[in-house]
Amino acid sequence: MQDFKQFITFFKDYSRSRVISFGHSFESLKDVVVALLIVKRGKYSTSFLNTSLLILVAAAIIGAPAIAENNPFINNFDVSSKNVQAAVVSYNPYDNALGTVISSKPRDKVEDYSVKNGDTLETISKRFDISVNTIKWANDLKNDTIKPSQVLKIPPVTGVVHKVVSGENIYSIAKKYKTDAQKIVNFPFNDFEDSETFALTPGQTLYVPDGVIEEQKPTYSAPVFAQIQAGVQGTSNFIWPTTGIITQYPIWYHMALDIANSSNPPVIAADTGTVVYAGCINYGYGCHVIVDHGNGYQTLYGHLLRIDVSAGQAVGKGSQLGLMGSTGRSTGTHLHFEIRSGSTLLNPLNFLK
């Protein structure tokens, strides 16, 4: 054990001395190399630069085809003909990115479109990349029905085309159409009297991107009944009050006709008479009209979207009373139609021609 300890001590001393000796030798050699480089520092610079340039040129020639083939900004690279076809790019400072220019002319105003056979509002909206409602609002369409050769106004962007009146500004208009005023400012074809305050000129056309026109909600009122006008009397021959499909036939607990049509068609008077009630309640018949025909019969038209007559008004057979809707106790767009005699509900199918 004593000999082993002496061997370990000797080995440590020997190793230390060899490491120190190697370090001295390395430092001496390094000093010589450094001194040589300093003395000869200008002698090899030209050769080094020439060699580096040759290496770069060779790398460019060898790697050029591979680089061109994978370069997203070059469509074709023909090495033999040295013909390079470059894509046109544009810089957008707001995107901080490069993108290919699309050569499509944007629409800057309302255009007229003549409806062709087979056209629908949906196909036209896709063709012009705007919404169906945008076309309906621009043309004051109450339903989706269009006819060949009918001329439609096509706005340049989805939203609302608004004619400015005195006192309006971009903020009041944006609020009216449920959109952001910044979208009005951003649309490039909107003109302003003052580019800093975005002042508007009364009578100018303003495009409101993404604006919406909400359907006017019916106002509910207390029932007001009117007297029958003298001399206004029906024929007792009733015509159909609207168009659509019958979704509910008369039955003992529902002695009326329910006629449904999702396009909100007009509702007309089934016979000549006097409007004795025209108003809205938030239950039951909702917005409805009652016509007294002066011969013992009355007709009722319920769940209307809009009422176009008033109490006390005389109406002829076929006169428009309003539009089919879904107000009051209703789960979908339809007309609830009744024929009454006094306080008795009669089966309308026995009278309609």
- Which CATH number do you get for residue 120? 3.10.350.10
Decide which of 63 and 95 is more confident: 63
Decide which of 53 and 93 is more confident: 53
| Residues 264 and 323 sit within 8 Å (Cβ to Cβ) | yes
Mean pLDDT of 305-325: 94
Instruction: For residue 207, list its beta bridge partners.
Output: 161
pTM, two decimal places: 0.43
| Residues 323 and 267 sit within 8 Å (Cβ to Cβ) | yes
Question: 320: domain range?
Answer: 245-350
- Which CATH number do you get for residue 304? 2.70.70.10
Q: How many structural domains is the chain composed of?
A: 2
Instruction: For residue 338, list its beta bridge partners.
Output: 300
| Single-letter code of the amino acid located at 94 | Y
The answer to whether position 97 is within a domain reads no
Q: What is the pLDDT of residue 34?
A: 67
Mean pLDDT of 241-258: 94
pLDDT tens across 255-302, in order?
999 999 999 999 999 999 999 999 999 889 999 999 999 999 999 999
Q: Specify whether 342 is located in the same domain as 250.
A: yes
Domain C-terminal end among 162, 182, 209: 209
Q: Specify whether 199 is located in the same domain as 128.
A: yes
Annotate 253-308 with DSSP letters as a single string.
TB-SEEEE-TT--EEE-SSSEEEEEEEE-SSTT-EEEEEE-SSSEEEEEESEEEE-
pLDDT tens across 192-240, in order?
988 888 999 999 999 999 999 887 655 555 555 666 676 688 899 999 9
What is the chain's mean pLDDT, rounded? Answer: 82
Q: What is the pLDDT of residue 340?
A: 95
The answer to whether position 263 is within a domain reads yes
Choose the most confident range, by mean pLDDT, from 99-103, 304-308, 328-332.
304-308
Domain C-terminal end among 209, 237, 257: 209
Q: Specify whether 199 is located in the same domain as 254.
A: no
pLDDT tens across 150-185, in order?
999 999 999 999 999 988 999 999 999 999 999 999
Degrees to nearest 5, angle at CA 282 with 281 and 288 = 40
- Give the burial string for 109-127 (b: 16+ CB within 10 Å, else e): eeeeeebeeebebeebbee
The answer to whether position 26 is within a domain reads no
Say whether 202 sits in a helix, a strand or coil: coil
The answer to whether position 185 is within a domain reads yes
Q: Specify whether 252 is located in the same domain as 345.
A: yes
Q: Tell me which residue of 274, 271, 275 sits closest to 307, measured CA to CA.
A: 275
Q: What is the pLDDT of residue 47?
A: 66
The answer to whether position 64 is within a domain reads no
Percent of the chain at pLDDT above 90? 54
Decide which of 128 and 42 is more confident: 128
By mean pLDDT, which of 90-94, 200-204, 297-301, 305-309 is the weakest? Answer: 90-94
pLDDT tens across 38-59, in order?
655 555 556 666 677 778 777 7
Q: What is the pLDDT of residue 43?
A: 58
Decide which of 115 and 76 is more confident: 115
Mean pLDDT of 76-85: 43
The answer to whether position 262 is within a domain reads yes
